[in-house]
Amino acid sequence: MPELYYSKAVNEALDEELARDPAVVLIGEDIGLYGGAFGVTKGLFAKYGPERIWETPISENSFTGLAVGAAMLGVRPVVEIMFMDFIALALDQLLNSAGKLHYMYGGQVKVPMVLRTPGGAKGGYGPSHSQMLSNLLVGIPGLKVIAPSTAAQAKGILKSAIRDPNPVIVIENKRLYPQKGEVPDDDDFTLPLDRAVVASPGTDLSLFCYSSMTPVCVAVKNAFLQTGVNIEVVDLVSLQPLDTETLFASLRKTGRAVIVEEACLTGGVGAELSALFAEHCLDSLDAPIVRVAAKDVPIPSSLALEKLVLPQPEDIITAVKENLAY
Amino acid sequence: MPDFLDMYRRMVLIRTFEETLSDLFGKGVLGGTSHFCIGQEACAVGVIDAARPTDWLVSNHRGHGHLLARGLDTAKVMGELMGKIIGYCRGRGGSQHLCAMDKCFLGTNGITGGGIPIATGAAFALKYQKTDRIAIVFFGDGASNQGTFHESLNIASLWKLPILFVCENNLYGMSNPTAKSCASGTIAPRAAAYAMPGAAHDGFDVQTVYDAASQAIARIRGGGGPELLELMTYRFCGHSKNDPRVYRTREEEEEMRQRDCITVLEQKLPSLGYDSETITQTALSARQEVAKAAEVALAAPTGGLADATEGVFA
Ligand SMILES: Cc1ncc(C[n+]2csc(CCOP(=O)(O)OP(=O)(O)O)c2C)c(N)n1
Ligand SMILES: [Mg+2]
């Protein structure tokens, strides 16, 4: 299997879907010749031209709404929001249109659009360019929210998202873009949108994570192996809906849960997962659930300060030890 | 030559429909709120008749006129407002979220300015699919202060999208007069900033509206790019169900009522060859249609649990 950068895997998915389905168009800022702020769409403008790649003015709410309207009439827009923090400007159309229309119009319309955006901190981008805002999106009925953590997922999930008849938000990650991974060499390689993945099987404790935290958790797992502790790393992948079947099965097997995310602690995916475990798996828990997340503060610019706000490998190690010691 | 008699019929239909809604609110049959377009009927009918039935419409919170002008089934609209299963959206949408794909009606919209980018996207799709259909979006003077108005006009102009932006300027956004909300006083001058034609017209005269819209639509359909149409109008009623209208005088309202679009057309019909008996009968049939629709809608059942909790995803 060829190894690809995560960003290149996204690029290939876009390329293949543009080639496969003439209804697919890309919409976003500086996604043409420039190739997008993170180079993800590089080369596509040269290949597909302005008929398929629509570079917009800086008008997030309107070009997202435009995608909604176009999607209802059979176009399949893939919108890029340059930094996840900017999704704030598109939120009205996501919340009030994309997520609601199929339901509120009694099933008369479908909104087959994808919105992809890089979340998370890359190191020093500062408060308006660093947040993982998964918590903002999972509370919006009608949106599927997926956060691929590997190159293979990035490609297979984006391709499925583009083919899905619903609005799908794909949260990419700036820290993952330059990471490499094996990706099947197959134009029709897709992955399901609603399944969690056991990234690394184990028996003694489950680390639940997604996006940038998955490779970090796998590294933590490997470190613990030397001490004789075999951790299972479960990658949520889909944040809305949550694949409770896979997640509950892991917890019931290990009896221990540590939940790790790059989003801030309060009111997000980790909180939801804790509540679900408490509701459905209480009898299986051998220790209280421990959560590791970003502190409930904006992400500071200073690298030194940023490190203090975001979850670090040491924080995860401490959380695992705390749970095991209970 | 437009069918003025049928325009008249639908203007009476729209007005009677909303007067009936008012009664039904009084009787506690209707929930939530509703925004009537009483006084603005000529805008809806004039523009929509200038379009083809296959041109896509997007409307706002004040959308009953647009829905009925397009010829949606009156009972199914009434049913939707009453939350009944016979409604276009099975009662999920109500007045501000009513869509009828079979009538190329892409929806009313409860977010002020929210429909403008959606309609721009519809126009994008129509151009992308190389059709000769266009999109038309209705919104108010208040909505023209939203970012979506400015962003969408800009994009539509840059991309030469086939869309007609129709601003029904009824002089107020809720209680806020345009003098206090629009720096340019009126809306049409804003078109110049986005390099598209834009002019204001008398929204009380259905023929004026029809003519202005026809010209704009011909230009747009010919590939000339988008256009802004401002229609000067007035809502004789309050903003929504409960509005004591403290922000304007009864004298102003009375003055505006003298220009009622239905009276204007009624007085014109004889010169177009319609006798008074025909006019009376036409109005009567419109009123009967509303009464019948209310009867059908009242008798219809509401949906069940599945209608409430399922169908979030396609
Ligand atoms: C985003 C948003 N802000 C505020 C409102 C509340 N609201 C509904 S209609 C309206 C006035 C709109 O004025 P205008 O666009 O002129 O339309 P009109 O009601 O006069 O037809 C307001 C403030 C809303 N529905 N959505
Ligand atoms: Mg107004």
Would you list the domain boundaries of chain A?
3-182, 197-325
Does the pTM of the predicted model rise above 0.90? yes
CA of B143 to the centre of ligand 1 (A): 7
**Percent over 90 (pLDDT), chain B:** 97
Nearest by CB to residue A69, choosing from B91, B101, B117, is: B117
The answer to whether A114 and A157 have CB atoms below 8 angstroms apart is no
Provide the CATH topology of domain B4-27+35-297.
Answer: Rossmann fold (3.40.50)
Residue with token string 């990419």: A172
Element (H, E) at A76: strand A76-80
Closest CA to B34 of B75, B67, B10, B64: B64
Helix, strand counts (H, E) of chain B: 13, 7
Any idea of the CA torsion for B119, B125, B128, B131, to the nearest 10 degrees?
Answer: -90
**What are the catalytic residues of A?**
60, 129
Q: What is the pLDDT of residue B242?
A: 86
pLDDT beyond 90 at A267: yes
User: Which residue's alpha carbon is nearest to atom 6 within ligand 1?
Assistant: B112
Mean pLDDT of B7-25: 97
The answer to whether A232 and A207 have CB atoms below 8 angstroms apart is yes
Q: Do A59 and B119 touch (CB under 8 A)?
A: no
The atom number, within ligand 1, closest to the CA of B111 reads 26
What residue of B is the nearest CA neighbor of A96? Answer: B111
Distance CA B118, CA B114 (A): 7
The answer to whether B87 and B79 have CB atoms below 8 angstroms apart is yes
- Residue pLDDT, tens place only, B186-217: 999 999 999 999 999 999 999 999 999 999 99
Distance CA B119, CA B137 (A): 6
B234: helix, coil or strand?
A: coil
The answer to whether A70 and A58 have CB atoms below 8 angstroms apart is no
- Residue pLDDT, tens place only, A193-249: 999 999 999 999 999 999 999 999 999 999 999 999 999 999 999 999 999 999 999
Interface residue A24 vs chain B (CB under 8 A) = no
Q: Which residues pair with A206 in a beta bridge?
A: A232, A257
Please check whether the two domains, A3-182 and A197-325, share a CATH topology.
Answer: yes
Distance CA B111, CA B59 (A): 11
User: Between 3.40.50.1820, 1.20.58.220, 3.40.50.720, 3.40.50.970, what CATH number should domain A3-182 receive?
Assistant: 3.40.50.970
Provide the CATH topology of domain A197-325.
Answer: Rossmann fold (3.40.50)
User: A128: which residues sit within 8 A by CB, 6+ positions away?
Assistant: A83, A85
- Residue pLDDT, tens place only, A27-71: 999 999 999 999 999 999 999 999 999 999 999 999 999 999 999
Q: What is the pLDDT of residue A1?
A: 86
- Residue pLDDT, tens place only, A115-160: 999 999 998 999 999 999 999 999 999 999 999 999 999 999 999 9
Q: Do B314 and A59 touch (CB under 8 A)?
A: no
- Token reading at A273: 């997962």
pLDDT beyond 90 at B241: no
B79: helix, coil or strand?
A: helix
The atom number, within ligand 1, closest to the CA of B144 reads 15
- Residue pLDDT, tens place only, B251-309: 999 999 999 999 999 999 999 999 999 999 999 999 999 999 999 999 999 999 999 99
- How distant is the alpha carbon of residue B127 from its chain centre? 24
The answer to whether B99 and B91 have CB atoms below 8 angstroms apart is no
- Is residue B209 in contact with ligand 1, taking CB distance under 6 Å? no
Interface residue A92 vs chain B (CB under 8 A) = yes
- Residue pLDDT, tens place only, B23-67: 999 999 898 989 999 999 999 999 999 999 999 999 999 999 999
